[in-house]
Structure 1
Amino acid sequence: MEENREQWGTKVGFILAAIGSAVGLGNIWRFPYVIYSSGGGAFLIPYFCAIFTAGIPLLILEYGMGHKFKGSTPLALSRANKKFEWFGWWSIISSSIILCYYSMILSWALKYLTFSFGKVWGEDSNEFFYKEFLKLSDSPMNIGEMVWPILIGIALIWIINWYICYNGVKSGIEKTSKLLLPCLLVIMIIIVIRGITLEGATVGLNTLFTPDWDKIKNPQIWISAYGQVFFSLSIGTGIMMTYSSYLPKKTDINNSAFMTAFANCGFEFLCAIGVFGILGAMATSQGVAVEDVATSGIGLAFIAFPKIFTIMGVWGNVLGVLFFVCLSFAGITSSVSLVEAISAAIIDKFGWKRKKVVTTLSIVGFLISTVFATNAGLYLLDIMDNFINNYGIVVVGLLEAFVIGWIVKPKTIREHTNSMSYFKIGKWWDVIIKFVTPTLLTITLIQSLIKEFKTPYGGYDLIPLLLYGWAIIALGIIGGILISKRSWKNKSEN
């Protein structure tokens, strides 16, 4: 089976696919706001600490595991220690849910791409987004009816995912990454150049990068830095182990991890410069402080930016189109990686053919995604995303570090990656995997739980939080345990 496992055509193809997975919507709409709200230039200290003490070490861990044990995440963990296969499946279940609501956000991006030609959102982008476009219901429990334009967009995204993954690793994912990643970079550079040359852009950049040294004394800022690095590198989602399992026997794993992390980091900074240049211009034109227009997430992409594009004249049309193309490309490379991580795990476990798995997954995934095309879609996304990111992915990362650090032993992975890498990692890596990463992720987890119980997330009632939040976490754990009880189709796989 291992000999038949598909491989990347080139190392560049693998790195581009890994960067494509890491570069997602979070780089564009989350990172700029995290820097700004976490001490500006001072945030770079905890951010780089997080990259070197969690980001790169965990990437090396996941690359090393996937490559050494030649399998998707559940298979690699099962081969390392049969008892821990279950949390490999937990990460796959979490990724399946992420994939379903990600398809909704990408559907919005595609729709807004068409809107940006004529600035259809009008003068009040806030009212347009919530009432006219989403037709948002009054609560998460009021599912309402289907919003057809969003459903059509979701169908289109699933067709794209299906087509790319159906064609396999080399002909599908690698080719797509080689095309979309350079395009994404060029588009973002154009947005940044235009953004920083707008009147008032320097106000935004000064706000973004002016260091607030007092803030880095706040432990919460350090936790934010680790959270950002963890989420933006696709760690704990099952993607990186799967991608590295397609690498040839001799390949420089350590260097690949550094390249992926720094490329992702560079793209994040590029986005931050462009976003805050544009926000500075908007603040100047309205005569308000940058604080009043700076926002994160969905609000930045679908409310603040359209408002800016409206007041920019012709350049607003151009930047609007480029911005939503950028969002779409970044989202597609990430959603394809999620489809691949899920498909590979199913192929390994049940011995089914790729084309059958990808087709079935795309149909079932689309059917589940339809719930996000309802009037309550945004609420469901908000609650599920919070719980999966804060509990699902963080706990999987913590368990990975624990299993490799204390049971499989870091030396096993380190010696494997060093045997084929130009750049050798020393025993410092063992210390980070055994002590530093588990400690930091445990603190992050405890902080999230304390916050959750003090004030329920987003001011929602208990019922929707139990139904769409805690139940999803329970589904991941119970589902993971049940699937791991089944034997692998091919006995040699275990």
Structure 2
Amino acid sequence: MSHQRETWGGRAAFIVAAISSAIGLGNIWRFPGVAFENGGGAFLIPYLVAFVTAGLPILFLDYSIGHRYRAAPPLAFRRLDRRVEPLGWWQVGVSYLILTYYAVVIAWALSFFWFSFGRQWGDDAAAFFVNDYLRVSESAGLTADFVPGVLVTLLVVWIAAIVVMSLGLRRGLDRANKITLPLLVAVFTILVVYSLSLPGAWDGVNQFFAPDFAALADPTVWIAAYGHIFFSFSIAFGIMLTYSSYMRRRSDLTGSGLVVAFANCSFEILAGIGVFAALGFLAHSQGTEIAGLEGISGPILAFVTFPTLLTEMPGGAIMSVLFFGSLLLAGFTSLLSIYQVVAGAVQDKTGWGSRRTAVTVGILTGVPSVLLFSATSGLNVLDVLDAFVNNIGVTFSAVVMLVLTAWVLRAIPQLSRHLNAISSFRVGRFWRAMVSVVTPVVLGVILVSGATAYIRDGYGEYPSWFVALVGWGSIAFLAVFSFAMSYRRYRRDDAEEFTADDPEELAGEPQARGARGAGESGPEADEGRS
């Protein structure tokens, strides 16, 4: 059955989409806190090292696989070598789990955007968020006591996402990104500029950048830098691989990747300045240090610390709307990119159209999302699930992908040729060394240390049965899902008839292609032509 795969409207559309995916909630509420807690300005050194040795190499690897094999992760890895299709479904499973709980955070942002009109959280933002809004259950466990405020906004988020995704790549995702990304940058820039004008703001910025070079001797600081770069770039769990598969046949992959990477890092620095300028004002008004504030990262920063700040800030009502509007925009564009990973994989597997796929995936993901995260136990489930999916699921995906492509399939040379055939920035020995040796070793250490800590110490103060059910249960789900889906046959004939583009032809040096089946489109076939 012939199939015409959708493509982005052009290079600019891809870059906007990739930047929209990379710039998410973590840029605003995670990076500033991670940097502050790991050496301040000195943290920028391991951050930049991780950017060069892990962020860019894996980003380019994702691009090369997605663009060369023209599919979402499962089919792309199958076309590389049919034996590694389960890795693709593992990445889809990771995206599916993230999708279920990422939506609820956007629902919180939507609620607080509404609460901003009148600053309804009052004088005690912590009590309002935990007790009045989320109504968090006192003990860990799954409950069926639903919170109407969360339930309604979560349904709104899912309906909006399904509508956008049903319109397809260009009419839906592309158009949404072109509206939301410029709006996000404009709104957040206004927020940063205003925050810098407040009393104590520059004290906060100075604390953010003040270097503690002694922290560089602590291995955990370097692990934190690699961990943040890894998640910040939206790499190794299918997003960038899927997005690059929709790029046109001749596209500047590495040049586009550099634009995306530097845009993401620039926004993180901007977010750090804005957040710590605001925190500096809050500390100044309360007569304390930033380190003494209740929360400087994560949901506590967004939904407790910042509401407290916005209550005391001159013009806080307007700034509240701008801040939670920024969270809403950043989160929604990232949600769409995660959604596309799952939808793209299902579409490849079934041959369905974009509308049927979007609605089916939306229902199969939205229903458990609403049931799990609009209940009073939702915050506890989200906390444990997020930790295990990111620290174990995503890191495991990256390590396995690097080991398989570099050491088992020895596909790095052919992927390097593919990148260089069409890109303005050529990769060479340094890139091959990073993806073959340095990055898998570093991420392997992070994976082993993280898993060992969870096994030995559990997670947080949650009971062991709850961590086992939600945390390790999610990892077990990924393992079963990845192999179960790999046994299902593809309905489209092009799963078996695909032939990867020849790098020499892409470079403008025609060479006759042999008729190859899917089993011959892997590294072995290319090594015979190199």
Aligned alpha-carbon RMSD (Å): 1.1
When the two structures are superposed, what TM-score results if normalisation uses the length of structure 2?
0.92
Does the Cα contact within 8 Å between 1:2 and 1:70 map onto a contact in 2? no
Question: Which position in structure 1 is the counterpart of 2:484?
Answer: 482
Does the Cα contact within 8 Å between 2:53 and 2:438 map onto a contact in 1? yes
1:114 aligns with 2:114: yes
**Structure 1: which amino acid aligns with 2:436?**
K
Structure 1 residue 139: Cα displacement: 2.0
Question: Which position in structure 2 is the counterpart of 1:396?
Answer: 397
Question: Which position in structure 2 is the counterpart of 1:438?
Answer: 440
State the aligned residue count. Answer: 493
Which residues in structure 2 correspond to 1:93-172 (within 5 Å)? 93-172=93-172
Structure 1 residue 2: Cα displacement: 7.7
**Structure 1 stretch 13-22 or stretch 363-372: which is displaced more?**
363-372
Does the Cα contact within 8 Å between 2:310 and 2:316 map onto a contact in 1? yes
SS at match of 2:74: helix
Cα distance, 1:226–1:2 mapped onto 2, change above 3 Å: farther
Structure 1 residue 450: Cα displacement: 2.6
**Structure 2: which amino acid aligns with 1:99?**
L
SS at match of 1:463: helix
* C-alpha distance in 1 between matches for 2:352 and 2:5: 13
* C-alpha distance in 2 between matches for 1:154 and 1:100: 10
* C-alpha distance in 2 between matches for 1:137 and 1:73: 38
Structure 1 residue 364: Cα displacement: 2.1
**Structure 2: which amino acid aligns with 1:400?**
M
Structure 1 residue 426: Cα displacement: 1.1
1:377 aligns with 2:378: yes
Segments ≥4 residues shifted beyond 6 Å: none
Structure 1 residue 458: Cα displacement: 1.0
Which residues in structure 2 correspond to 1:10-29 (within 5 Å)? 10-29=10-29
1:39 aligns with 2:13: no
* C-alpha distance in 1 between matches for 2:460 and 2:144: 20
Does the Cα contact within 8 Å between 2:2 and 2:493 map onto a contact in 1? no
**Structure 1: which amino acid aligns with 2:468?**
L
Unaligned runs of 5+ in 1: none
**Structure 1 stretch 419-428 or stretch 324-333: which is displaced more?**
419-428
Bigger Rg, structure 1 or 2: 2
SS at match of 1:4: coil
Question: Which position in structure 1 is the counterpart of 2:425?
Answer: 423
Question: Which position in structure 2 is the counterpart of 1:288?
Answer: 288
Question: Which position in structure 2 is the counterpart of 1:8?
Answer: 8
Unaligned runs of 5+ in 2: 497-530
Does the Cα contact within 8 Å between 2:10 and 2:248 map onto a contact in 1? no
SS at match of 2:428: coil
Q: Structure 1, residues 84-131: CA drift from partner, whole Å, max 9, x if none?
A: 110211111111111111111111100000111101000010111110
Structure 1 residue 62: Cα displacement: 0.4
* C-alpha distance in 2 between matches for 1:260 and 1:388: 24
Which residues in structure 2 correspond to 1:68-467 (within 5 Å)? 68-293=68-293, 294-313=295-314, 315-370=315-370, 371-406=372-407, 407-467=409-469
Q: Structure 1, residues 393-445: CA drift from partner, whole Å, max 9, x if none?
A: 00101111112212142111110010001111112111111101110110101
Does the Cα contact within 8 Å between 1:96 and 1:342 map onto a contact in 2? yes
SS at match of 1:425: coil
SS at match of 2:341: helix
Structure 1 residue 206: Cα displacement: 1.2
Structure 1 residue 44: Cα displacement: 0.6
* C-alpha distance in 2 between matches for 1:219 and 1:71: 38
Q: Structure 1, residues 213-267: CA drift from partner, whole Å, max 9, x if none?
A: 0001111111100110110111122111111111111010011111111110001
Does the Cα contact within 8 Å between 2:2 and 2:494 map onto a contact in 1? no
Does the Cα contact within 8 Å between 1:66 and 1:76 map onto a contact in 2? yes
What is the aligned-residue identity percentage? 38
**Structure 1 stretch 291-300 or stretch 119-128: which is displaced more?**
291-300
Does the Cα contact within 8 Å between 1:81 and 1:408 map onto a contact in 2? no
